[in-house]
Structure 1
């Protein structure tokens, strides 16, 4: 088979589903036709009882009872084992029990042995009428399955035709009345007409189920597109909430510098450079937010470079010291010179969120921002003397929009700061650890292992799916026990 002739997987799945629905449609009609067949058997026996030796009639009736019992057993088993199962089970059941219908047709075709050229023309007419009606009813009930319908009609016609020809040739030696041949011709025409009508009825059934399948696929496609649009809106809302969350701290610091300048103009030479630097920090943060928007779309290009750790921490001090001191807290900085390989903007964003989070949940004492050397690279630590985080919440805090219910100060936040930290540390490949004691404080340690640009880009693209509602979330970024 040429490769282009292989049906696409979705078409093969649709074809199997349609076949399963056709089998279901066939089986739904069989209980009714079984009762009609029993009624027809009673009528035929009643018509022929006085004209045919009882032994022949009873023998045929016994065979008919076996056929009816077989069909009834198949229906009971279908209702008990298959009716509520999948397409594959329906198709397999039909393949295993498909011979029950040709056997029923064989029994009805043998009816000609009882009446053809052996009873009055009136009785023969009634019997042919009953057989014709039963054949048309069977075509209607079996047309959902073209093989089953054809097997029934072909067996029925072949059996009746064989009985007629045996009577005409072997017993009457072609000396019977001429209308026998017209009856044979009528039987052949009737058989071909039923076959043609059954095929058209089957095509109608098949088209209906194909349309139903495609309508279902269209609805699923529209549902997915609608969900994609809702996801896009959710990502936009999440970005706006993140922007509002992260812009607050540098703007607050800028406002404090401006207030000090207004109340103490003589400090202009001291405060003006800080205002300029805070403005630059705001601009850098806006750049960071735009980078995050690209990150959420999976199209960001990470800028992996050598980062001066000491300079990075001093920029964070400039941004957060006034906020810390305005709250009556002490801000301490301990720096050991060193460099790291990372994205400077995203790394600053990560550390800024950790410092801002420490300030928010510390009411007395202070904050320590420190860098230390290690065998695997520089390590940055953020200490606070705040409320601490209970063990039950130490992994949950990295979930999106999660707020520790017992912490004061959560009502004015969005629950995004540590979520962003977790996501960015995962992308950059910087292990994060947490140690906290309730009522004593918390320390976050970020190990600045060198960031591999290609691996970081792959993690950035993979993380987009985790941003969408209903998708599996990334595990907590904590390395080791969070205790």
Structure 2
């Protein structure tokens, strides 16, 4: 329910997290892990480039080595730029944005792997065996390091490992077939080791990715559970506080008329000859007690969720005419004018509960109006018929619009009006929720208030242009 732009006080339940939301959260965390690890990997790569050059400088073609080193430096700089762009603009982005970001820049990891694997074109069968061994071990170490550094993004990991392995095999094949066409046992062993290592690293990376994803899904489930339990605990605490406040307020409001009844009974016992003067006061106190109990019973019935709705087509002019006849004496008693403005309209509702809802609004309007009057009107809005209750009363400040629907709440500084028990609008709130009608409020302090009741499921009277 929404009075105006304000919401009724409500203990909302934490919405269930969907699998899509969980996957989005997990993807975002995996991308963030990938980028953080990618920065560390780049620092390591930056130190390996000069080491590679230093090892091979005296044994291989300088031009070929310089070209490879330049390519390695350029792709490393490109990857630094991508990571810098991520931390500058995308570190707080969601899963969809991160996926789009990775789609644009994942090629840098593939190209980097191809360039490093292509280093074998420079040193394989050209450098001393010891240097070749060191370089191959370095490439193997980079592949192993990729399991922890890049497997958070399975696509980038596979592209990196595939690029590294295929470029190494291409270099071996080129050297054997074109450069020095001689197949040696060590070459066959090297190819076999590369293939085995390639499969093993892919498998390890895939398993590690699954472990990371499972851990993040578990974190998400735990965080959701903790959040849900925390919210339910807060809701329970608020419910206990509301109940305590409710009981305290009910006891306070009941004490006054009951105390008055006791005083009048003692007075009547002491001075029986004053029965004509005292009896109306006893009746008034008894009526106040009955009114409070009736309101409490209404609230208890509405909160128990056992109320059964009798949906039917309700003729609004007829209903409002009945309300006018019922509440006109109360308005005249206060010197107020109760008027109606009616147009033909029907709505789907429970007639008894709708009448009780409008009766509480009318009673509240009359109670808090010192002079002027109250208007009960049926109008046609953009979405169908609506009912408005206007008064020229004390008005309600915007900051009070939510609080007035709480049990036993009375707007402060309403001097000169009958306070009542503060349950009328609480019952209105419950009835609106039960009937699924929408209530809104407009008010100006010392000018008056308008309550408007809209019907989402509404039918205009036949032949009427709504």
Asked if these proteins are the same fold (TM beyond 0.5), I'd say yes
Over 3 Å counting, the alpha-carbon distance change for 1:207 and 1:426 in structure 2 is: closer
Match of 1:266 among 268, 273, 280: 273
Instruction: Return the offset for 1:256.
Output: 4.5
- The question of 1:117 aligning with 2:125 is answered yes
TM-score, reference length from structure 1: 0.68
For the pair shown, the structure with the greater C-alpha radius of gyration is 1
1:89: which partner in 2?
A: 97
Closer/same/farther in 2, CA of residues 459 and 299 from structure 1, 3 Å limit: farther
**Equivalence for 1:169:** 177
Asked if 1:213 is matched to 2:190, the reply is: no
1:129 matched to 2:137? The reply is: yes
- Normalising to structure 2: TM-score of the pair? 0.70
Counting only pairs closer than 5 Å after superposition, residues 324-343 of structure 1 correspond to structure 2 as: none
Q: Which residue of 2 aligns with 1:102?
A: 110
Distance (whole Å) between structure 2 residues aligned to residue 187 and residue 375 of structure 1 = 86
Partner of 1:434: none
Corresponding residue for 1:203? Answer: 210
Deviation at 1:33, TM superposition (A): 1.2
1:143 CA displacement? 1.2
Call closer, same or farther: CA 1:309–1:34 in 2, change over 3 Å.
Answer: closer
CA contact (8 A) 1:396 1:402 kept: no
Summarize deviations over 1:260-309 as a string: whole Å, max 9, x none: 30331124477568746754652453122121233356655689999687
Does structure 1 residue 19 correspond to structure 2 residue 54?
A: no
**Superposed displacement of residue 177, structure 1:** 2.1
Partner of residue 157, structure 2: 149
Gaps of 5+ in 2: 1-15, 341-350, 379-387, 450-466
**Alignment partners' CA distance in 1, 2:259 and 2:412:** 24
Instruction: Report 1:342-381 matches (<5 A).
Output: none
Match of 2:435 among 458, 476, 482: 458
Aligned residue number for residue 482 of structure 1: 448
Residue segments in structure 1 that go unaligned for 5+ positions in a row = 1-7, 318-330, 359-366, 429-454, 464-473
User: Is contact 2:303–2:430 with CA below 8 Å preserved after alignment?
Assistant: no
Question: Structure 1's 75 and 287: CA in aligned 2 closer, same or farther, altered over 3 A?
Answer: same
Cα separation, 1, equivalents of 2:114 and 2:193? 19
- Alpha-carbon separation, structure 2, partners of 1:92 and 1:240: 57
Q: How much is the aligned-residue C-alpha RMSD, in angstroms?
A: 4.6
Please give the alpha-carbon distance, in whole angstroms, between the structure 2 residues aligned to 1:335 and 1:63.
91
Match of 2:453 in 1: none
Flag the 1:72–1:92 CA change in 2: closer, same or farther, 3 A: same
Gap change, CA 1:403 and 1:282, over 3 Å in 2: closer
Q: Matches of residues 289-438 of structure 1 in structure 2 within 5 Å?
A: 289-296=296-303, 300=307, 399-400=403-404, 401=409, 404=412, 417=420, 420-423=423-426
2-side partners of 1:248 and 1:355: how far apart? 25
Residue 257 (structure 1) aligned to one of 264, 270, 280: 264
Aligned length: 403
Contact 1:353 1:421 in 2 (8 A): yes
Which residue is equivalent to 2:40?
32
CA contact (8 A) 1:34 1:72 kept: yes
2:299–2:427: 8 Å Cα contact kept in structure 1? Answer: no
Paired residue secondary structure (1:51): coil
Q: Are residue 54 (structure 1) and residue 20 (structure 2) matched?
A: no
Q: Distance in 1 between matches of 2:377 and 2:199?
A: 89
| Alignment partners' CA distance in 2, 1:272 and 1:71 | 93
Query: 2:34·2:150 contact (CA, 8 Å) conserved in 1?
Result: yes
Q: Deviations over 1:34-78 (max 9, x none)?
A: 121122221221111111111111111111111111111111211
Would the aligned equivalents of 1:353 and 1:418 in 2 still touch at CA under 8 Å? no
